[in-house]
């Protein structure tokens, strides 16, 4: 842990889409963190034009620095853009990207902070997900492609998320994983995991109102794979294409 007066270590970065119940779970979890843990953390939430609008309770704002932004254009499956917006406002050395249904209880967040204190630049931890309900209860799943814990500047070095995928479901995290594996040293850590909530437990854990077809983005993905292969691989593609394209291609506002 850092000494008093040191910069905070980790920003929890989260995009939400009309998920007040899962936010309540997160806020209750943050209330359980010790003062020492809270001294290491900041919170950035991006409301991706969901309904009801996201809010951060005043007592949470008193516990740790909080920022809240709202995307004002209703773009389906805009997680690439929403996560980029969160990244734009990360001030700490490390960023921990989470979805609202991925929650770190006190003991596990303490382990994340300990791992983060030793995490070097150009090293990426992909944390895992422990299922809480159903046939997979207790199973720790290493397969989710969007579980990133790393230096924020490294995330910026590869251009963040490719917003060409916004508007339809899928594949943005798969491309980012290809890039990360090429540019950085990426590792799964079976000892670091979030509790993964399902709709059986929390009704808004998973957004069901959007078209879940991945065909549109699959064709985008295939074109990008061809382009990366022709231009020298994913590292060069990230540097020469993703980094040079504009990000935050939507209207947004600061709420807090």
Domain edges within the chain: 10-254
pTM for the model? 0.95
C-alpha distances out from residue 109 to 10, 11, 118, 154, Å = 11, 12, 15, 22
DSSP state of 163: G
CA dihedral over 69, 73, 79, 84, signed as positive or negative: negative
What does the radius of gyration of the chain's CA atoms come to, in whole angstroms? 18
Report pLDDT for 110.
Answer: 98
Report pLDDT for 136.
Answer: 75
Cα gap 49→131, rounded to integer Å: 28
Cα gap 36→54, rounded to integer Å: 27
Structure confidence by residue, pLDDT tens digits, 188-246: 998 999 999 998 899 998 876 678 899 999 999 999 999 999 999 999 999 999 999 99
CA torsion 180-183-189-192 (nearest 10°) is -60
Report pLDDT for 106.
Answer: 98
Structure confidence by residue, pLDDT tens digits, 98-150: 999 999 999 999 999 999 999 999 999 999 999 987 767 888 887 788 999 99
Q: Which CATH superfamily, name and number, covers 10-254?
A: Spore Coat Polysaccharide Biosynthesis Protein SpsA; Chain A (3.90.550.10)
């Amino acid at each position: 842990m850092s000494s008093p007066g040191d910069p905070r270590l980790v920003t929890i970065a989260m995009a939400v889409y009309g998920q007040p119940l899962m936010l309540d779970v997160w806020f209750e979890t943050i209330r359980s963190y010790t003062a020492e843990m809270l001294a290491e953390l900041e919170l950035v939430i991006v409301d991706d034009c969901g309904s009801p609008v996201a809010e951060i309770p005043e007592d949470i704002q008193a516990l740790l620095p909080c920022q809240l932004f709202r995307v004002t254009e209703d773009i389906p499956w805009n997680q690439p853009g929403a996560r980029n917006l969160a990244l734009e406002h990360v001030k700490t050395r490390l960023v921990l990207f989470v979805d609202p249904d991925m929650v770190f209880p006190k003991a596990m967040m303490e382990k994340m902070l300990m791992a983060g204190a030793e995490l070097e630049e150009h090293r990426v931890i992909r944390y895992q997900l422990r299922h809480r309900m159903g046939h997979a209860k207790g199973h720790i799943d290493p397969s989710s492609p969007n579980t990133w814990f790393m230096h924020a500047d490294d995330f910026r070095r590869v251009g963040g998320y490719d917003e060409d995928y916004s508007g339809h479901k899928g594949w943005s995290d798969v491309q980012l994983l290809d890039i990360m594996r090429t540019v950085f040293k990426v590792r799964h850590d079976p000892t670091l995991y979030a509790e993964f909530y399902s709709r059986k437990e929390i009704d808004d854990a998973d957004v069901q109102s959007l078209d879940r077809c991945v065909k549109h983005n699959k064709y985008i993905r295939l074109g990008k794979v061809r382009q990366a292969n022709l231009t020298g691989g994913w590292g060069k593609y990230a540097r020469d294409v993703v980094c040079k394209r504009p990000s935050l291609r939507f209207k947004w506002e600061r709420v807090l």
